[in-house]
């Protein structure tokens, strides 16, 4: 059973860099794609980007200039950095696995989410 | 820009009734690239369907999906109390993942 455990700072000030890590247990990063998704309070889901074990990334074009997703295969972890945050980046951030074997890359395992609040 | 529009925004039904949720794409997509999720308050989304009509592991058969082209549907044949939640569709394409805005299924 794959489990995703995520952590990171929950309170940031405007212009700081958001940094989150997601550890994968019970599975390997060697397959599939590993995603970050966020959800502002009371709103819908927004895909941030993904990465595979080789470090190949894809980003949401609206966030691309501020986002970096990286992988550490030795620790079975992925990380998210989002720079120059504003209040609009306040959200619950999730890591999730996208199944590479299926065209829809459905997100079948999710972390519990980390609420990140940006204040001035 | 590719957009998924879900309707209705809120659906009020009673346990035992049938629920029909719609997801419309701004341009034609292959059903292979369409999935559905359920999200309850304070929880991460849960995968329900992929490839438009294939149930994910552990999903009861009262959930079914259909559709093609630009119009996709999630049907819950007989609502159970635990089915009241928010439902999202998603499409995976060349620009990554696009989510619909969600349909809230509430108890009438």
Q: What is the pLDDT of residue A98?
A: 94
Tell me the chain B residues in contact with residue A98 when contact means C-beta distances shorter than 8 Å: 92, 97
Question: How far, rounded to the nearest angstrom, does the alpha carbon of residue A69 sit from its chain's CA centroid?
Answer: 7
Contact A80, A69 (CB under 8 A): yes
- Give the residue from chain B lying closest to A62, CA to CA: B95
Tell which A residues from 86 to 105 touch B, by Cβ distance under 8 Å.
94, 96, 98-99, 102-105
With cut-offs at 50, 70 and 90, classify the pLDDT of residue A103: confident
Q: What is the pLDDT of residue B1?
A: 86
Question: How far, rounded to the nearest angstrom, does the alpha carbon of residue A95 sit from its chain's CA centroid?
Answer: 4
The residues of chain B scoring below 50 in pLDDT are none
Q: What is the pLDDT of residue A27?
A: 87
């Amino acid at each position: 059973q794959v489990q995703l455990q995520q952590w990171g700072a929950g309170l940031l000030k405007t212009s700081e860099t958001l940094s989150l890590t997601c550890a994968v247990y019970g599975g390997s990063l060697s397959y599939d794609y590993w995603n970050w998704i966020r959800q502002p309070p009371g709103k819908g889901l927004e895909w941030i980007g993904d990465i595979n074990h080789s470090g190949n990334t894809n980003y949401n074009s609206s966030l691309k200039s501020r986002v970096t997703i990286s992988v550490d295969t030795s620790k079975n972890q992925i990380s998210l950095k989002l720079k120059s945050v504003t209040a609009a980046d306040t959200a619950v951030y999730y890591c999730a696995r996208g199944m590479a074997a299926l065209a829809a890359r459905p997100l079948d395992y999710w972390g519990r989410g980390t609420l990140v609040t940006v204040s001035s | 820009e590719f957009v998924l529009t879900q309707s209705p925004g809120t659906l009020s039904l009673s346990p035992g009734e049938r629920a029909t949720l719609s997801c419309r794409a701004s341009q034609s997509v292959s059903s292979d690239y369409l999935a559905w999720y359920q999200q309850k308050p304070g929880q991460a989304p849960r995968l329900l369907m992929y490839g438009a009509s294939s149930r994910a592991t552990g999903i009861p058969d009262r959930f079914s999906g259909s559709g093609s082209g630009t119009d996709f549907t999630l049907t819950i044949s007989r609502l159970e109390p635990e089915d009241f939640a928010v439902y999202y569709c998603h499409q995976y394409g060349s620009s990554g993942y696009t989510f619909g805005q969600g349909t809230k299924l509430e108890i009438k």
